Amino acid sequence: MIRRTIREWERIAYGSGDTEIPETQGDRLAAVARISAFSGRGGEGVLEHGRNGLRARGVVGVIATPGCQLEILPKIEGGGERGVSDAVLRQRLIHMLAVTYDLPIEAGAMTQLGWQRETVLELLIRLFCAKLTDAVRQGMPRHYLEHEDDLPALRGRLDVTRQFSTLAVSPQKLACRFDALSPDIALNQVMRAAVSKLSRLSGAPDNQRALRELSFVYADVADVPPNALRWDRIVLDRTNRRWRDLLSLARLFLADRHQQTSSGTVDGHALLFEMNVLFEAYIERILSRALAGTGFRVSSQGGHRDCLYEGETGRFRTRPDLIVRQGERIALIIDTKWKRMTPRIDDPKQGISQTDVYQLMAYGRLYDCPNVMLLYPHHADLPSDPIRRRYSIGMKGAEETLIVATQDLAGKQSAHKDHLRQLVLEFLPREGQSVPSDDCLAPSFPQPSHNF
């Protein structure tokens, strides 16, 4: 099994070296990437397929083909950090996934995973196998299901119609209808589908062994294709509450939004996450917890107000990333940007995109919100302390303000929560108050800096 790891926006050349990839495998990986939901119109939204190698873009995760796995890690750096290892980036990525998708990854379990030697995919598979094995040892959930069978003695109730039609010539048999405990329920079908899918993906020997054992456990459960699973029939109550976390992991592996299975002659699989979306979702989760009890609440991808109207018909609908409300009043609009701010001292705008500024100014106007914020990830080339800058919009001393800030994603989740709470409450005026602005924001920003 060939395993290679690169970081977003990095290249990997063709070749037989330890830091290269065979060209035939590169072609197969590029083919799998092209059928991903993130591939875009040109088919290179995940990987740029060049003549001399592959180049990652702003999508992270694992692309797997028979005999090869390519892992793409995000550049999640802290202030002042240098030379962050792949193991640390892998751990931080899984932490973001755990928060965003409610994955059951406790601190104890995280310390036991092989961050250094395994890819993100293998680590998540190992976690799933360990938790599923522990759950089935405590007992597989079963429900009473109705059965029909022709028996020599009556069980349950008699199916009179079938008895006097189909079995009219076989009076020695009784058409019985009865309820019996069965493991073939929707929850177990989801678990079997996840086990079957992961058995085709995993290349780690210990994961393969655990998946074979689990396949034997689920032998009496129907093998339902992922697109035919009945998620709506899964009911979690006090008797099967321990399966909630496993259901989140199974949904991650089986959901089409994050991964793409084989198509046509392409043999492979991709478990991918768009960092723009992941960063926004992570901030939304942490900020919601941070503002609990403050009177503010957070919603994502809301608003849906139109920029223009043609008669009675609205055009160009807007969807701000995050909206912070106080009661019915919109107090703050946050647009998260997975972009790398420039650390140049001679650039006071630090590479902030003119397009992004115009977008936030439009949001402020449409939603009658005097406070808007651009939130970027912090990185090692910036000063160690997160950036917090406030500008007045349009004229000096204006009440409308735009805040430019960064969020350090290194460290503990509690630190992220405290920083976001402090950041928002510092710049959010209470009802009837105003926040003095520091600078006047002129509409002469440079073009967007390069993404991570």
Judged against a pLDDT cut of 60, whether residue 196 lies above it is answered with yes
Q: Which of 26-35, 112-121, 293-302 has the lowest mean pLDDT?
A: 112-121
Alpha-carbon distance of 283 to 378, in angstroms, equals: 13
* Pairing of β 53-56 and β 11-13: antiparallel
More confident residue, 73 or 309: 73
Of 17-26, 88-97, 174-183, 325-334, the poorest mean pLDDT is in: 174-183
DSSP-derived pairing of the beta strands 296-300 and 269-274: unpaired
Rounded Cα distance, 90 and 84, in Å: 10
CB atoms within 10 A of CB 153: 7
What is the mean pLDDT of the segment spanning 123-134?
89
Over 60: is that where the pLDDT of 263 sits? no
Which DSSP category does 183 fall into?
S
Residue whose pair of structure tokens reads 């002469």 in the numeric block: 444
Identify the pLDDT of residue 24: 92
162-167: which pairs have CB atoms within 8 A and are 24 or more residues apart? none
pLDDT digits (tens, 9 = 90+) for 330-389: 999 999 999 888 765 555 566 688 888 888 998 888 899 889 999 999 888 888 888 888
CA atoms within 13 A on the CB side of 273: 25
Residue 116, pLDDT score: 64
- Average pLDDT in the chain: 82
Q: What is the mean pLDDT of residues 414-430?
A: 85
DSSP letter for 451, please: B
For residue 119, is pLDDT > 50? yes
Lowest mean pLDDT among 147-156, 253-262, 413-422: 253-262
What number is the average pLDDT over the span 169-175?
A: 84
pLDDT at 14: 93
Tell me, what's the pLDDT at 115?
61
User: Taking 50 as the threshold, does the pLDDT of residue 289 lie above it?
Assistant: yes
pLDDT band for position 260 (cuts 50, 70, 90): very low
432 pLDDT exceeds 50? Answer: no
Residue 234 has what pLDDT? 86
Cα–Cα distance for residue pair 80/383, rounded to 1 Å: 7
Helices 186-201 & 244-254 angle (0-180, nearest 10): 50
Lowest mean pLDDT among 67-81, 230-244, 419-433: 419-433
* Res 291: pLDDT: 92
Q: What is the mean pLDDT of residues 106-116?
A: 55
Does the structure show a pLDDT above 90 at 78? Answer: no
In 3D space, the residue among 98, 93, 96, 90 whose CA is nearest the CA of residue 114 turns out to be 90
pLDDT of residue 442: 44
Instruction: Answer yes or no: is pLDDT of 109 > 60.
Output: no
Q: How confident is the model over 162-171, as a mean pLDDT?
A: 82
User: Whole-model pTM?
Assistant: 0.79
Lowest mean pLDDT among 300-304, 365-369, 441-445: 441-445
* Spatial CB neighbours of 320, under 8 Å, sequence gap ≥ 6: 301, 302, 303, 333, 334, 335, 363, 367
Average pLDDT over residues 114-142: 84
Residues 6 or more apart whose CB falls under 8 angstroms from that of 31 comprise: 266, 268
Q: Tell me, what's the pLDDT at 120?
A: 87
pLDDT of 113 > 80? The answer is no
Q: How far apart are CA 290 and CA 421, in angstroms?
A: 5
Mean pLDDT of 208-217: 93
pLDDT in tens, 34-62: 888 787 766 678 899 989 999 999 899 99
Cα–Cα distance between 271 and 443 in angstroms, integer? 40
Structure tokens at 425: 């409450």
Average the pLDDT over 422-429 and give the result: 82
Whether the predicted pLDDT of 261 surpasses 50 = no
